[in-house]
Structure 1
Amino acid sequence: MTNMKHGWATVVAALPGLLLCAGVTVLACLVERAETMLLGRAWLESLVLAILIGTAIRTLARIDARFDPGIRVGAHLLLEIAVVLLGASVSARTLLSDGVGLVVGIAAVVVLALAFSYAIGRLAGLPRKMAILIACGNAICGNSAIAAVAPVIDADGKEVTAAIAFTAVLGVVVVLVLPLLVGVLSLTAVEYGVLAGLTVYAVPQVLAATASVSSASVHAGTLVKLVRVLMLGPVVLVLSLFGQGDGRARPSLSHLVPWFIVGFVVLLVLRSLGWIPQAALGPAHAVANVLTIMAMAALGLGVDVRAVLRAGGRVAAVVVVSLLGLAAASYGLIRLLGM
């Protein structure tokens, strides 16, 4: 009975924030429709508009604390569910077509990005633990990697907060800017998906960065990103073995392999085996799309661009240079494989 009351209280607490996310979602969809009517096409799609509107509200207005629980649910749980549902529409052939070479290449890019980012951080005078946090966040999966690595290296709250602040803000910037590279670099849909999967911080953000390009980009980007995320386990293990944490707390398996990645893989396998009814694929895709837009609204509502100013110039420079290095290595891999 107590658990039921607690669960109901959690739902009630999340409602205001979820309703705000829904409102931003509706507004983003209306603006996209207005663009199509007035300009002949939507130059900014609802996914991007939801992020921009949400970020503007968080940065320019004072959002009451009662909205925060629902915003957190929207930015995490809703998007995680959307990622799981995406597995029902993804074909494993996208990744398997390039076989072992692509998987080895992803691992190599992650290792290079870790070394490069850590070196840049130390050269810029950042503390060792801060440099490790930024390197792991940049090379693997943003805030999730930072959260998993922090207890292993015994990072303090200020270091974690500064690293997360920049990956949150820069992650949104990457989602908005990356699609512009399709034309600049003459990338195919699959090549762009691989680039997004290798450079965008979080699995959910890959959806936002690729959905406006094509479904092939979404599929390739998500699969590549999942391989990249799986590098978190070995990295944390290495940090533990080499004494960075001095025997301190270790992250749980759920931090190293999030539940939604398991769910995504399960649905991907079921789809590949033909065990998901064809009639269920359309509704699953539609629900995933709505949840993704709502989650992008929540993501924007959780980002205050003023956090960048509070975290410091050196940290900002290290994160940006690290990301550029990662993007360069990723583009090099794409050209090397001749995709």
Structure 2
Amino acid sequence: MSRLHPTFRSAFSSAASRLTCILPGLILCLFVALAALGLEWIEWRWTGRAWLEALVLAILLGAIVRTLWTPGDRFLSGIHFSAKYLLEAAIVLIGAMLSFDAIAASGPTLLVTIVAMVLLSIATGYVIARILGLPKRLATLIACGNAICGNSAIAAVAPAIGARGEEVAAAISFTAILGIAVVLTLPFVGGWLGMTAQGYGVFAGLTVYAVPQVLAAASPFSPLSVQVGTLVKLVRVLMLGPVVFCFSLIAGRNTEPECLAGKHRRSHLATILHFVPWFILGFLAVAIARNSGVIPDAVATGAVKVSTWLTVVAMAALGLEVDIRALANSGPRASAAAMLSLLVLCILSALAIACFGLG
């Protein structure tokens, strides 16, 4: 036993060092999240409803703080930890609120629509970017970012098409800003169009960039909107693997861009597996356990509450990673291409929901 002591001591020291590293940023995210929850409470107290949910308020407050004050290096690890790991844990727990019966009502039409919308969005986004005079690789990155999952899609597709570092940087610069804009405006659009809770969930899942942003955009409607939106979004994310594989085949190579120089080259299969997040599998596993009765109602209710708290903290972290002034650095043509592509995606999604009876 005595020989194990140094091992335990080393592990404890490493864990303590890691905690010390993330603590300042984590505390900052918690303060922003508490402020968002406080503002939501004030809304309920004064108006009888939350016009802006805590999820949205956390993003806004975080972005305002980040724009007015740039957190120092000691905060960055904790902010990244909150934005990534707390969020991934929250997404897994959301599986406890997913009802397969509600999703099954849409039938295979929903799945076909998601796949078709991703492919159509890539095509239209690429054409729009090329019409605006953007280079082929930058146009491809912007189109894939809009169609699938923002920065993650851009990062995944970049090595498949041999994109340069400056092209990747230009493509990802608009994602966070437009993502927040969509989160804020989409509930009003859904209400104006008279969408049902399920229809709006499909709409949010088809148009919003990232999974956490889907949660923020769908929550003002209903829990059903969150369930449907999350599932639709996760199916979109799963499209990333096949899309990367296809672009790798089209390019005829797996050249690493400058921004990824020094990393080992991956095979097509390894690239696909690398960009299929673990939390998708966790989300599905929890959802299956919940719908099969393995997870009881009381545990599921507690899991959803914990997920909500974790998501608000993660929203604060995502906001703290956004500098609104960065939009000016993305270039007018890239910004116009991204906004027009997103607008087309919203229009196509609304038409698909209406035509195929998904809402």
Q: Is TM (by shorter chain) over 0.5?
A: yes
TM-score range, shorter chain: over 0.9
Give the equivalent residue in structure 2 for 1:61: 69
1:199-235 deviation per Cα after TM superposition (whole angstroms, max 9, x unaligned): 0011121111111211000011011111111111111
Cα distance in 2, alignment partners of residues 126 and 189 from structure 1: 38
Cα distance in 2, alignment partners of residues 316 and 202 from structure 1: 18
Report the CA distance between 1:4 and its aligned residue.
Answer: 5.3
* Structure 2 letter corresponding to 1:279: A
After superposition, residues 75-94 of structure 1 pair within 5 angstroms as: 75-94=83-102
Give the equivalent residue in structure 2 for 1:242: 250
Cα distance in 2, alignment partners of residues 96 and 264 from structure 1: 17
1:281 aligns with 2:300: yes
Give the alignment partner of residue 156 of structure 1, picking from 152, 164, 167. 164
Do the aligned partners of 1:189 and 1:213 also contact (CA within 8 Å) in 2?
Answer: yes
TM-score (structure 2 length as normaliser): 0.91
* Structure 2 letter corresponding to 1:327: C
* Structure 1 letter corresponding to 2:30: A
Cα distance in 2, alignment partners of residues 247 and 60 from structure 1: 39
Cα distance in 2, alignment partners of residues 281 and 144 from structure 1: 29
- Give the greater-gyration-radius structure (CA): 2
Cα distance in 1, alignment partners of residues 172 and 11 from structure 2: 32
Report the CA distance between 1:247 and its aligned residue.
Answer: 5.4
1:28 aligns with 2:39: no
Report the CA distance between 1:69 and its aligned residue.
Answer: 1.0
**What are structure 2's unaligned runs of at least 5 residues?**
1-6, 257-264
Report the CA distance between 1:8 and its aligned residue.
Answer: 3.4
1:103 aligns with 2:111: yes
Report the CA distance between 1:95 and its aligned residue.
Answer: 2.5
Cα distance in 2, alignment partners of residues 88 and 57 from structure 1: 33
Give the equivalent residue in structure 2 for 1:51: 59
- Secondary structure, aligned partner of 1:126: coil
Give the equivalent residue in structure 2 for 1:217: 225
* Structure 1 letter corresponding to 2:170: A
1:73-118 deviation per Cα after TM superposition (whole angstroms, max 9, x unaligned): 1111111110000001101223221111111111111111000001
Give the equivalent residue in structure 2 for 1:324: 343
Structure 1 stretch displaced more, 245-254 or 148-157: 245-254
Do the aligned partners of 1:80 and 1:204 also contact (CA within 8 Å) in 2?
Answer: no
Cα distance in 2, alignment partners of residues 138 and 298 from structure 1: 22
Cα distance in 1, alignment partners of residues 15 and 341 from structure 2: 41
- Secondary structure, aligned partner of 1:252: helix
Do the aligned partners of 2:173 and 2:329 also contact (CA within 8 Å) in 1?
Answer: no
After superposition, residues 166-185 of structure 1 pair within 5 angstroms as: 166-185=174-193
1:306-334 deviation per Cα after TM superposition (whole angstroms, max 9, x unaligned): 11101111110000000011111111110
* Structure 1 letter corresponding to 2:37: C
Cα distance in 1, alignment partners of residues 19 and 105 from structure 2: 43
TM-score (structure 1 length as normaliser): 0.96
- Secondary structure, aligned partner of 1:242: helix
Cα distance in 1, alignment partners of residues 289 and 48 from structure 2: 39
Structure 1 stretch displaced more, 30-39 or 188-197: 30-39
Cα distance in 2, alignment partners of residues 271 and 158 from structure 1: 45
1:312 aligns with 2:331: yes
**What are structure 1's unaligned runs of at least 5 residues?**
none
1:255 aligns with 2:263: no
* Structure 2 letter corresponding to 1:133: L
Cα distance in 1, alignment partners of residues 120 and 272 from structure 2: 25
Q: Between Structure 1 and Structure 2, how many residues are aligned?
A: 339
Task: Give the 3 Å change call, closer, same or farther, for CA 254–16 of structure 1 in structure 2.
Answer: farther
Cα distance in 1, alignment partners of residues 110 and 210 from structure 2: 19
Task: Give the 3 Å change call, closer, same or farther, for CA 125–245 of structure 1 in structure 2.
Answer: farther
Cα distance in 2, alignment partners of residues 240 and 300 from structure 1: 33
Aligned residues: percent identity?
A: 51
Report the CA distance between 1:6 and its aligned residue.
Answer: 4.0
* Structure 1 letter corresponding to 2:318: L
Report the CA distance between 1:48 and its aligned residue.
Answer: 1.2
Structure 1 stretch displaced more, 57-66 or 312-321: 57-66
* Structure 2 letter corresponding to 1:113: S
Cα distance in 2, alignment partners of residues 326 and 34 from structure 1: 35
- Secondary structure, aligned partner of 1:338: coil
Cα distance in 1, alignment partners of residues 252 and 13 from structure 2: 42
CA RMSD of aligned residues (A): 1.5
